[in-house]
Amino acid sequence: MEEGRLKIRVTVPPEGGKANRAVIEILSKALRVPKSSIEIIKGETSRIKTVKIEGITLAKLQEKLGIEGVELS
């Protein structure tokens, strides 16, 4: 966590959407939700992204990531 944002590092180059797919894969595995439930809604070509995750509550997301009580922006 950094400044209310979850920080994810990927080693895949940002060519052809590969890094975005890697971010979705990491979140899918960590949260145990289908990849189809995760969408990058802002920042597809930027290092900072806004992600929409369907089928999980904020409380459950925080629990699974071990960040209960942390305010996300």
Which has the higher per-residue pLDDT, 48 or 70? Answer: 48
For position 13, what pLDDT does the model report?
A: 87
| Dist CA 1 CA 21 (whole Å) | 21
Average pLDDT of the chain, as a whole number:
86
What phi and psi, each to the nearest 5 degrees, are found at residue 44? Answer: -55, -30
**In terms of C-beta density within 10 A (0-12 exposed, 13-18 middle, 19 or more buried), how is residue 64 classed?**
middle
pLDDT at 21 over 90: yes
Copy the structure tokens of residue 43.
């920042």
For position 19, what pLDDT does the model report?
A: 93
